């Protein structure tokens, strides 16, 4: 199996937002509506997001029992509508306080993984009114990295759908966790991170960088064990180092950069540095060219 093959389970999923207390206006994603496109088109599901223990922690034991009963009834009611052919966005609830959000596309290597992905993707954003294609990527990236990646993708991909599809690639093995790679094409796997602008940003950006490096190392190792080529790279947004306004800011950025240089050298990961999205886009161009020359 090619680990970058499209997962066989595909569906559209929509969050069901629940406002249990109109006085506070607080909302939760209580259920997820799922309509499968493959492998069996037309299959539907309406799993409840919360475990009974979670409801008890949120609402207390007595109210949790009532809430679970309500959610089970709503789930069955909505599922019957989907089975009758009602579109996800048109499905209604039997009680006030429930509303259906905009559907998103989800995939998985099994039905369970698809459901888990749908719940993880949608329930993490339960207080938002809308869900877009980049939301899943946003929560794993710091603000500077997210903005940098968005600009790089815009410059590099433009109107090229093939290039756009190389960003935020997900790979998963049966019975294992998914790994998300910021950019993947042919043998090249690239994770993107940023240097801190100040000491207050150091811890969060260090965690981001080390987490991405860990995922990159695991993914490359598994691909190699599957006899697939892999050339991992960590691309660092060095704008804060180049534009540092104080000596302390420069030292903080340099401290993390030196740490990442050491870590990548130990993991046989190529370290790339770009001070702006234009430089990063040019680096991806070079990787694409090298991949083309290798396969020619």
Domain residue limits, the chain: 9-132, 137-295
Strand, helix or coil at 79?
helix
Task: Examine residue 213 and say whether the peptide bond preceding it is cis (omega within 30 degrees of 0).
Answer: no
Residue 256 to residue 272: CA distance in whole angstroms? 14
Other C-beta atoms closer than 10 Å to the C-beta of 266 total: 9
What is the pLDDT, as a whole number, of residue 120? 76
Q: Do residues 48 and 135 make contact, with C-beta atoms less than 8 angstroms apart?
A: no
Q: Do residues 80 and 5 make contact, with C-beta atoms less than 8 angstroms apart?
A: no
Residue 140 to residue 204: CA distance in whole angstroms? 11
What is the pLDDT, as a whole number, of residue 221? 86
What is the pLDDT, as a whole number, of residue 176? 61
What is the pLDDT, as a whole number, of residue 254? 95
Q: Tell me the pLDDT tens digit for each residue of 200-255.
A: 888 889 999 999 999 899 888 888 877 778 899 999 999 999 888 788 889 999 99
Other C-beta atoms closer than 10 Å to the C-beta of 87 total: 14
Ranges of the chain whose pLDDT falls below 70: 1-6, 21-26, 124-139, 173-177, 292-296
What is the pLDDT, as a whole number, of residue 25? 63
Q: What angle do CA 204, 176, 191 make, to 5 degrees?
A: 40
Is domain 137-295 in CATH 3.40.50, yes or no? yes
């Amino acid at each position: 199996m090619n680990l970058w093959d499209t997962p066989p389970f595909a569906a559209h999923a929509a969050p069901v937002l629940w406002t249990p207390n109109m006085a506070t206006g607080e909302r939760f994603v209580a259920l997820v509506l799922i309509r499968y496109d493959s492998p069996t088109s037309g299959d539907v599901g309406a799993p409840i997001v919360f475990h009974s223990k979670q409801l008890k922690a949120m609402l207390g034991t007595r109210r949790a029992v009532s809430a679970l009963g309500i959610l089970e009834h709503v789930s069955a009611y909505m599922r019957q509508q989907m089975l009758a052919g009602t579109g996800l966005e048109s499905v209604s609830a039997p009680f006030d306080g429930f509303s259906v959000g905009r559907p998103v596309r989800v995939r998985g290597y099994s039905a369970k993984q698809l459901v888990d992905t749908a719940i993880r993707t949608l329930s993490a954003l339960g207080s938002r009114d809308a869900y877009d294609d980049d939301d899943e990527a946003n929560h794993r990236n710091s603000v500077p990295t997210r903005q940098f990646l968005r600009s790089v993708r815009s410059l590099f991909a433009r109107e090229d759908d093939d290039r756009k599809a190389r960003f935020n690639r997900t790979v998963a093995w049966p019975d294992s966790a998914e790994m998300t790679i910021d950019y993947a094409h042919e043998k090249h796997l690239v994770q993107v991170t940023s240097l801190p602008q100040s000491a207050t940003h150091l811890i969060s950006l260090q965690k981001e960088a080390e987490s991405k490096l860990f995922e990159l190392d695991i993914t490359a190792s598994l691909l190699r064990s599957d006899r697939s080529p892999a050339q991992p790279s960590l691309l660092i947004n060095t704008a804060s180092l180049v534009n540092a306004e104080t000596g302390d800011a420069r030292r903080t950025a340099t401290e993390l950069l030196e740490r990442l240089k050491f870590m990548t050298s130990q993991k046989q990961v190529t370290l790339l540095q770009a001070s702006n999205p234009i430089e990063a886009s040019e680096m991806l161009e070079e990787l694409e060219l090298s991949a083309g020359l290798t396969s020619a």
